[in-house]
Amino acid sequence: MTAENVDYDLLIPNNVGLAEDPKLRRALEQWHPGYIDWWMSMGPEGFQMADVWLRTAISVEKEGWAKFDYVKMPEYRWGILLAPEVEGRTIPCGEHVGEPVWTEVPGPYRAMLRRLIVIQGDTEPASVEQQRHLGSTAPSIYDMRNLFQVNVEEGRHLWAMVYLLQKYFGRDGREEAQELLQRQSGSDEKPRMLGAFNESTPDWLSFFMFTYFTDRDGKMQLEALAQSGFDPLSRTCRFMLAEEAHHMFVGYTGVKRIVERTAQAMVEGGVDDPYDIDAVRRLGVIDLPAIQRKTNLHFSLTLDLFGSEESTNAANFFNAGIKGRFHEDRLEDDHRLVDDTYPVTKLVDGELRQVEVPALNALNARLRDDFIDDCQGGISRWNNELSARGIDFLIELPNVAFNRNIGEFAGISVSPDGRLVAEGEFEAKKGKWLPTSDDQAYIESLMQPQLEPGEFAGWIAHPARGIQGKPTDFEYVKLP
Ligand code: BYC
């Protein structure tokens, strides 16, 4: 078996030589039943026996790594896949920059590494739990299939982190792997570790916003971990990124199709004013101000996932060489940052101002800035759907300080356009800025399933094309 090919003969498909590592194989096989129990009780509700046209990874080569076929989700071949080793790779940042990468856990950084892997691992099952009720309101079976594809791959990403814990962290790694199946999104007793992963995903607009914004935090964090000097983590994350691209495609095209449908309906129905909510809702589509409010919510929740703007944890991860910056290996500086500064927006004398701070402490802010840049492209294309039809409305990202619970802006009140406001004003205008119970009730009233191949709910446009060359009316999910 070469590193590029995946061994499908074992219960757990892999390209990590599991057949020759009985100890690890035993640990993973012992974890497997608990995972399946978790999937059956916390995974997609109501569709476990359906045949879903899913992609499964069969190689880690750039081309032709996946095959598509009908699979019942509990029979999906969750596996352990690492991107190929890069010969001569060196630690890309921090005090060990230029030294050969570690293939075993570096002793002094063991606790830090384990924590990063556990946090990453915790988000994967959390998102499956958050999305488990959505199948029953799918706007089409094309969309339903995309939801399930995202879900099984998040399950595989959990396997990816569990592999690292069990292979490299001994007993405490095995205990952490168990805990990953025990915490639960939204639970009072054992919640998931990061804030946004305990929020609900009550409707498909939220799902698409989540996959647009929050999966993109996943992308940025995986990009930063792909730069790790601990090579097994880097290789794992590099392969996860190949799968992650589809998740963001689902979010981007999902919101785009909703905006497109709203714009089409407004033109056809002769409604010019996007703020005439009653008129727009009479058309059976989602009004643009409600879409803006969902954008404000999901963007701000996701910004919290980057941690504090200034963080000694982040400086330590970087110095140790276990977490880099976005595209660290393409940046041209000394990769140590000891004498550098970085501009961070902060609250100074009652105003939001950019302040130069030591670059090492500003790594969370920097990754967050890279994330914001990455978000912008899709939003411009959503807006093109509006301008092309002469609709005078722009979907915009709110200011970084709006609605924050972690870091510099936690506990202060800032409007979406970046003005510091009194708490009273924030409360009074909250209904303009964040989704209201009325928005939620209306959106949920639209969430009626469309289960005939080729049929789409009236609030979302058809996709431009199907998946992997199949038509949009292909039977992506065969219901039992
Ligand atoms: N909620 O120095 P600070 C994904 C804690 S998404 C709750 O500011 P640090 C996916 C923090 O742990 C990507 N607690 O932060 C997407 C620390 O606690 P301790 C997931 C929070 O450590 C969609 C304290 O506050 N991967 O893959 O520099 C679907 C002070 O922390 C939060 C990662 O996040 C929060 N939001 O940075 C599926 C990568 N933020 O240590 C999947 C791994 C901070 O004082 N994680 N705290 O007890 C990391 O790199 C870092 O841990 C963080 C936080 C960026 C999350």
pLDDT tens by residue, 245-303: 999 999 999 999 999 999 999 999 999 999 999 999 999 999 999 999 999 999 999 99
CA of 219 to the centre of ligand 1 (A): 14
pLDDT above 50 (res 3): no
Q: How far is CA 13 from CA 70, 77, 168, in A?
A: 18, 7, 19
pLDDT of residue 5: 64
Residue 54, strand partner residues: 69
pTM of the model: 0.96
pLDDT tens by residue, 72-108: 999 999 989 999 999 999 999 999 999 999 999 999 9
CA of 101 to the centre of ligand 1 (A): 24
CA of 306 to the centre of ligand 1 (A): 6
Quote the mean pLDDT of the chain: 95
CA of 112 to the centre of ligand 1 (A): 12
Terminal Cα-to-Cα distance of the chain (whole angstroms): 37
pLDDT above 50 (res 51): yes
Cβ burial of 221 (10 Å; 0-12, 13-18, 19+) is buried
Reading the block at residue 428, the tokens are: 């009074």
pLDDT above 50 (res 170): yes
Share of the chain above pLDDT 70, in %: 98
pLDDT above 60 (res 4): no
pLDDT tens by residue, 337-367: 999 999 999 999 989 999 999 999 999 999 9
For residue 281, which amino acid is it?
Answer: R
pLDDT above 60 (res 2): no
- Give the integer Cα–Cα distance in Å for 53 and 473: 13
- Give the integer Cα–Cα distance in Å for 206 and 197: 13
Nearest CA to ligand 1 atom 1: 194
Mean pLDDT of 5-20: 82
pLDDT above 90 (res 65): no
pLDDT of residue 188: 96
CA of 223 to the centre of ligand 1 (A): 15
Q: Choose which residue among 122, 151, 305 to substitute to test ligand 1 binding: the one with the highest number of ligand atoms within 8 A of its C-beta.
A: 305
Closest atom of ligand 1 to 211 CA is 23
Nearest CA to ligand 1 atom 14: 194
Q: What is the 3-state secondary structure (H, E, C) of the chain?
A: CCCCECECCCCCCECCCHHHCHHHHHHHHHHHHHHHHHHHHHCCCCCCCCEEEEEEECECCCCCCEEEEEEEHHHCCCCECCCCCCCCCECCCHHHCCCECECCCCHHHHHHHHHHHHHHHHHHHHHHHHCCCHHHHCCCHHHHHHHHHHHHHHHHHHHHHHHHHHHHCHHHHHHHHHHHHHCCCCCCCCCCCCHHHHCCCCCHHHHHHHHHHHHHHHHHHHHHHHCCCEHHHHHHHHHHHHHHHHHHHHHHHHHHHHHHHHHHHHHHHCCCCCCCHHHHHHCCCCCHHHHHHHHHHHHHHHHHHHCCCCCHHHHHHHHHCCCCCCCHHHCCCCCCCCCCEEEEEEEECCEEEEEEEEHHHHHHHHHHHHHHHHHHHHHHHHHHHHHCCCCCCCCCCCCCCCCCCCCCCCCCCECCCCCECCHHHHHHHHHHHCCCHHHHHHHHHHCCCCCCCCCCCCCCCCCCCCCCCCCCCCCCEECC
Cβ burial of 331 (10 Å; 0-12, 13-18, 19+) is middle
Mean pLDDT of 56-84: 87
Cβ 84 vs Cβ 62: under 8 Å: no
pLDDT tens by residue, 420-466: 999 999 999 999 999 999 999 999 999 999 999 999 999 999 999 99
| Per-residue pLDDT band at 59 (split at 50, 70, 90) | confident
pLDDT above 60 (res 1): no
Reading the block at residue 182, the tokens are: 């025990």
Nearest CA to ligand 1 atom 20: 120
Closest atom of ligand 1 to 196 CA is 36
| Per-residue pLDDT band at 369 (split at 50, 70, 90) | very high
Nearest CA to ligand 1 atom 35: 194
CA of 425 to the centre of ligand 1 (A): 30
Mean pLDDT of 385-392: 97
